[in-house]
Structure 1
């Protein structure tokens, strides 16, 4: 969260974010800063002052969804029924990924982050998810060779499949769940 901005600077920042959200909603996660500035009606320098890289802008756009992912992962990790917890987390992850048209998956799967808050949120999410996966392995709910990275990559692929045929979302999630359990 940015504080102590002048009113005009805060308005410009919010306008940039609004345009970037619209771009992400259309599936454009590359967020070319010059184009964002043009569409937002602000100078390029204004965009770069707030978001020095396209990655920083994307992280800001999906920051709320990333925070929600951390909360959902924590909620799932506290559930007693591990099978239900895994299914809950996979389905809710897919819902969040779909509402960001690839932006959240892009941020989650990225090796480097622009903002330390993103790094912290991803670290916490991965810690909780790894604990959940350990429990799932121990309970025989998922195959022993499945890693957190495997699940993240499969979820990115699942998002793409559902975008191609939204009516098949439940089928695709069920296939993924069965595949994870072997």
Structure 2
């Protein structure tokens, strides 16, 4: 018997930005630690974070326990695959749903709320929204701690890669993709 999802869900607004940044910082600081060196963890904030375009586009979700943001994530119809407002190489080019995958972006869970279905719920919301806009394939750039969740949800590894920060630190990442099953 499936248990009911114990958290509330809504689309993020500009009023959520401070809370989103707090969850992201906690998540990176604590959940990356077992997988990366201290230098890589510290450097991760340069290549990760919130792209406020997702909030503006209405494709970013918050998961709440009461009034506290305990998870967040979204998807994009734009070309950029990962990174925050400060990340180099961003592109707002709109993707063609008939030939390009939607991007699943910026998924973070508060460290005290991991393994409670938050990541799965965000993926479900993202994939559902993107499918309603005509996308049948979804792509993301996973961190090492996120890869097992994405695999369990049907994503397959396209490539193992690294992102280099301004000081030359190389952070390992995994590009993954999922093709929606026919309904």
Which TM-score applies when normalising by structure 1? 0.31
Which structure's CA Rg is the greater one?
1
Judging by fraction of residues, say which structure has more strand: 2
Q: Which has the higher helix share?
A: 1
